[in-house]
Amino acid sequence: MKEELIKKAYDIAAERYAAMGIDTNKVMDQLQNVSISMHCWQADDVTGFESAGSLTGGIQATGNYPGKARNMEELRADILKAASYIPGKHRLNLHEIYGDFGGKFVDRDQVEPAHFESWMQWAAENGMKLDFNSTSFSHAKSGDLSLSNPDKSIRDFWIEHTKRCRAIAEEMGKRQGDPCIMNLWVHDGSKDITVNRMKYRALLKDSLDQIFATDYKNMKDCIESKVFGIGLESYTVGSNDFYIGYGVQRQKLITLDTGHFHPTESVADKVSSLLLFVPELMLHVSRPVRWDSDHVTIMDDPTLDLFNEIVRCDALDRVHIGLDYFDASINRIGAYVIGTRAAQKCMLRALLEPLAQLRQYEANGQGFQRLALLEETKAMPWNAVWDMFCLKNNVPVGDEFIGEIEKYEADVTSKR
């Protein structure tokens, strides 16, 4: 797109927003500071480098689009390629199974910071900060229950794994001079009617207490609930109620995965309630289509609502934004770019909201005025600000990245 045209459109947009009391330059500065934690697992359908086993734990990546990353080198190259089409500086969210195991099998209860040494170096070289996840799925000892398994030896195995993951996250945080956010999600649940529901939850609570016994300064723990997994439809040990209770009592971060709630539940509405009781939140921004399908994030109403809430709660510094989807049916680098840019666009639109005026209307009981302004806001020229933001960041404007990704596909991924 012509630079001149982008600037012209931006100037007009800036004037329109200024009339609403919004400084678009300031908004672009704010957006520049929003780092999205890009999930490493979109590049290879949640496979990782531990073993070639299949994906378990009630999650599924559907599709068989050619060109998925087959090793660490390809995964890193694909992530950097995707990042080059995304404005701003972002983080990388690693799962434990993506460790640099040097071709050897390193079991989950043996993993150490050394297995992430090359990642820490790579991240520093590329100006990316790291986040981390323990991995309870895709392992011979996963079964239906990990941290809540009545078999003490299996439980202890996963406790050891998760403790080690926290030590790795601490090392990452120390090295990057910024806390590493470590997410804990376990698939534990059961397919059919479960009568000892209390028992497994009590075990999970006890396991978490053991895992969190060590205090760290450079990492933050977050805990993620969900409604159900495939093959685990009747009971999820780590339900929403369970983790909210645990998180409030132990002051842990709560992870909200947008695919982990009942379809008509508003995830946006949870932000203000939770932030009154827990220190911070982590988001797994996803797109559930009829279930927790992990489709690519887009600029849809639930995502716009969610980002609006972060801004309306003045909580930009208390909400960490990560992505969580794994679509194996389309170009995977394209999937990263679409999803990350969509999250940024939602954030931009939230930052461009005439919040002071809306709050005023609301306080005055001016319901018509509030609704009218909300409606008008939808048609404001936010896209001109977005294009300018991309231009300033030296990344493709508009749909220009489509051709670039096609080229990378022709030259690189299609040859895999």
Active site residues: 185, 224, 226, 257, 260, 284, 292, 294, 324
- 324 scored as a contact of ligand RNT (CB under 6 A): yes
Binding-site member from 226, 252, 295, 320 for ligand RNT (CB under 6 A): 226
- 261 scored as a contact of ligand RNT (CB under 6 A): no
Residue 269 is classified by DSSP as: T
Residue 221 and residue 209: Cα distance in Å, rounded?
Answer: 12
- 131 scored as a contact of ligand RNT (CB under 6 A): no
Binding-site member from 81, 284, 295, 370 for Zn ion (CB under 5 A): 284
Cβ nearer to ligand RNT, comparing 171 with 188 = 188
Residue 135 and residue 216: Cα distance in Å, rounded?
Answer: 20
How many residues of this chain bind Zn ion (CB under 5 A)? 3
- 144 scored as a contact of ligand RNT (CB under 6 A): no
255 membership: H or E segment, kind and range: strand 253-257
- 292 scored as a contact of Zn ion (CB under 5 A): no
Cβ nearer to Zn ion, comparing 179 with 259 = 259
Structure tokens at 145: 């229950």
Work out how close the CB of 334 gets to ligand RNT at its nearest, in angstroms, rounded to a whole number: 20
- 324 scored as a contact of Zn ion (CB under 5 A): yes
Looking only at residues 331 through 390 of this chain, which bind ligand RNT when binding is defined by CB under 6 A? none
- 108 scored as a contact of ligand RNT (CB under 6 A): no
Work out how close the CB of 143 gets to ligand RNT at its nearest, in angstroms, rounded to a whole number: 16
Which of Zn ion, ligand RNT, none binds 387 (CB below 5-8 Å, type-dependent)?
Answer: none
Residue 275: what are its φ and ψ, rounded to 5°? Answer: -65, -15
Looking only at residues 167 through 186 of this chain, which bind ligand RNT when binding is defined by CB under 6 A? 185
Residue 167 and residue 170: Cα distance in Å, rounded?
Answer: 5
Residue 89's Cβ-count burial label (10 Å; 0-12, 13-18, 19+) is middle
Contact 68, 324 (CB under 8 A): no
Instruction: Please compute Rg for the chain using Cα positions.
Output: 22
Distances (CA, A) of 368 to 129, 304, 349, 358: 45, 21, 22, 11
Contact 401, 337 (CB under 8 A): yes
Cβ nearer to Zn ion, comparing 24 with 93 = 93
Which of ligand RNT, Zn ion, none binds 327 (CB below 5-8 Å, type-dependent)?
Answer: none
Cβ nearer to ligand RNT, comparing 135 with 413 = 135
Binding-site member from 13, 59, 232, 271 for ligand RNT (CB under 6 A): 59
Contact 235, 197 (CB under 8 A): yes
Residue 269 and residue 279: Cα distance in Å, rounded?
Answer: 17
- 131 scored as a contact of Zn ion (CB under 5 A): no
Binding-site member from 96, 257, 309, 353 for ligand RNT (CB under 6 A): 257
Contact 97, 135 (CB under 8 A): yes
* Helix, strand or coil, per DSSP, at residue 133: strand
- 228 scored as a contact of ligand RNT (CB under 6 A): no
Work out how close the CB of 292 gets to Zn ion at its nearest, in angstroms, rounded to a whole number: 8
